[in-house]
């Protein structure tokens, strides 16, 4: 059995530099449009140096996606089953919107992969992501039966939250072009709108 040696500080730094550069390139050009030469140039490293750390363009892409999916699942995992249902779901909405503000490149990379049919992460979507969404939907249905959440399809509620929050990263150019927004103030306006929008949908009707 081969024992893998721990990475040196420089090796860790170079690996992180390559992944960060690849995130720029893949989020802009997609997997097919990106090249190892572009990644190397963006990273400020030679192509052979990049290939020392990753065997191929696909290996870099897969490493990015694997880490990204875990990051994407964390906000959904943070919903507290014992919390106040409407507040917990609204907090999830805000976490997702904040991710679009903070991690726009990651969001676009994920969106590009999904548009292509998710060939490299379909097993994770049909596995851990589906399991987590199904578990969360079961929790939402319980809250509805208890009269603490409006009658609403839980799967489509989650899809709706993804659509209305990740849109601000994936279609940033469109939003900024229409709103003439050069800063981040539109995220604050979006937060107010989404809080009002989802609260109206989630609060049970009296009686």
How confident is the model over 102-115, as pLDDT tens digits? Answer: 999 888 888 888 88
**Chain mean pLDDT for the chain:** 92
Q: How far apart are the first and last CA of the chain?
A: 66
Q: Please give the C-alpha separations between residue 107 and each of 22, 94, 104, in angstroms, as whole numbers.
A: 14, 15, 5
Longest dimension (CA), the chain: 68
Q: What is the residue extent of each domain of the chain? A: 7-55, 62-202
CATH superfamily of 62-202: Tetracycline Repressor, domain 2 (1.10.357.10)
Q: Per-residue pLDDT averaged across 35-49, rounded?
A: 95
Computed on alpha carbons and rounded to an integer, the radius of gyration of the chain in Å comes to 20
Report CA torsion sign: 38, 42, 44, 45: negative
pLDDT score recorded for residue 1? 42
Q: Extract the tokens encoding 203.
A: 């609060």
Task: Provide the total of helices (H) and of strands (E) in the chain, helices listed first.
Answer: 11, 0
Euclidean distance between CA atoms 169 and 187, whole angstroms: 10
List pLDDT tens digits, range 63-92.
888 888 888 889 999 999 999 999 999 999
pLDDT score recorded for residue 207? 62
Architecture label for domain 7-55: Orthogonal Bundle (1.10)
Q: Which of 159, 22, 166 lies closest to 108, judged by CA?
A: 166
């Amino acid at each position: 059995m081969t024992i893998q040696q721990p990475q040196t500080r420089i090796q860790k730094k170079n690996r992180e530099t390559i992944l960060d550069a690849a995130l720029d390139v893949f989020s802009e050009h997609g997997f097919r449009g990106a090249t190892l030469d572009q990644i190397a140039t963006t990273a400020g490293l030679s192509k052979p140096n990049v290939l020392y750390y990753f065997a191929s363009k696909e290996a870099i892409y897969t490493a990015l996606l694997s880490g990204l999916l875990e990051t994407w699942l964390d906000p959904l995992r943070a919903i507290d089953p014992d919390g106040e249902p409407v507040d917990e779901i609204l907090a999830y909405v805000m976490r997702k919107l904040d991710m679009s503000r903070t991690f726009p490149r990651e969001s676009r990379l994920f969106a590009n992969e999904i548009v292509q049919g998710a060939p490299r992460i379909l097993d994770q979507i049909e596995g851990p992501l589906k399991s987590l969404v199904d578990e969360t939907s079961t929790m939402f249905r319980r809250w509805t039966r208890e009269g603490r959440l409006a009658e609403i399809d839980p799967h489509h509620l989650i899809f709706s939250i993804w659509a209305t929050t990740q849109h601000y990263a994936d279609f940033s150019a469109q939003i900024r072009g229409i709103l003439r927004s050069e800063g981040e103030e539109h995220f604050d306006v979006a937060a107010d709108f989404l809080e009002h929008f989802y609260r109206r949908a989630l609060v049970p009707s009296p009686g």
